[in-house]
Structure 1
């Protein structure tokens, strides 16, 4: 079993025990620096990162293979990458940039395997008469049309 396969197997075993966590990215550089990025349905704690690190480090033989290991949580400022990340952010505002360059901001109301649905809220001129009116509309966006989607952080 190769070094990478060993790391992947140990990580898969850890994630099998922790169903609330999921792997976003695993990188192993040429000089054996391992970077694991995790996310979770309820977020990722420091203890979660420590547990994942121990699951890998304590089951690898450093005499056989020297490596550096970094386990981190997926940051709020990072774009959403996986369907499960969209799922956990239902009800939150997203800034979405489409592959066409169009920018859309709206509340994420649903997710399926191929698309997301945003609730857009805006004001527009009344169709009849003067003044403006509040409008709410749902927009379905295919996942393959999304260039970048960020959660809007509100304080």
Structure 2
């Protein structure tokens, strides 16, 4: 079986600038999956370059493998604090490990936690119409099941 350390060392040479590794998995049948992201953007050429780096430095004659390299897309859950920082100001769909769901604007993110601002209409005593109430929620990363960027076509 191909080791993660071997593949990581091969990738490390090409992870330059604002490009970073989000996830690296290798199954028992040598199916290698590499997910990368960037503070700006990841294009197809970058994925091809990373794929070639691994492909050309592993010997298929000694161990056969399958390799997939792709960028963390908008529909992918955020996994690293760096990804949260990249998406400040965007709407997030957050599901906690307790199953609670929140949708709000990502306001802050650091190495331990992030903050979203949730706005919703609620009935306030003394008012006939519902009023928009805004609350901030702070979540430690350990308490999050999934957090995805909400795609809006407004």
| Correspondent of 2:17 among 16, 19, 25 | 19
More deviation, 110-119/3-12 = 3-12
Find the counterpart in structure 2 of residue 58 from structure 1.
56
> What root-mean-square deviation, in Å, do the aligned CA atoms of Structure 1 and Structure 2 show?
1.9
CA contact (8 A) 2:2 2:26 kept: no
Counterpart-to-counterpart distance in 2, 1:100 and 1:68: 36
* TM score, norm. by length of structure 2: 0.87
Name the SS of the counterpart of 2:135 in structure 1: strand
SS at match of 2:79: coil
Between the aligned partners of 1:75 and 1:150, the Cα distance in structure 2 is 10
Q: Match of 2:13, SS?
A: helix
Report the alpha carbon displacement of residue 129 of structure 1 after superposing the two structures with TM.
3.4
Measured after TM superposition, the shift of residue 154 of structure 1 is: 0.8
- Which blocks of at least 5 consecutive residues in structure 1 are unaligned? none
Cα drift, residue 64 of structure 1: 4.3
Instruction: State the Cα distance separating 1:50 from its structure 2 match.
Output: 0.7
What runs of 5+ residues in structure 2 fail to find an aligned partner? Answer: none
In the alignment, what sits opposite 1:122? 120
- After the TM superposition, which segments of 4 or more aligned residues of structure 1 sit over 4 Å from their partners? none
Question: What's the TM-score, normalizing by structure 1?
Answer: 0.86
In the alignment of these two chains, the number of paired residues is 152
In structure 2, C-alpha distance between the alignment counterparts of 1:142 and 1:103, rounded to whole Å? 15
In 1, the alpha carbon distance for the partners of 2:77 and 2:103 equals 14
Distance across 1 between alignment mates of 2:13 and 2:25: 17
Matched, 1:35 2:33: yes
How far the C-alpha of 1:68 sits from its partner, in A, is: 2.7
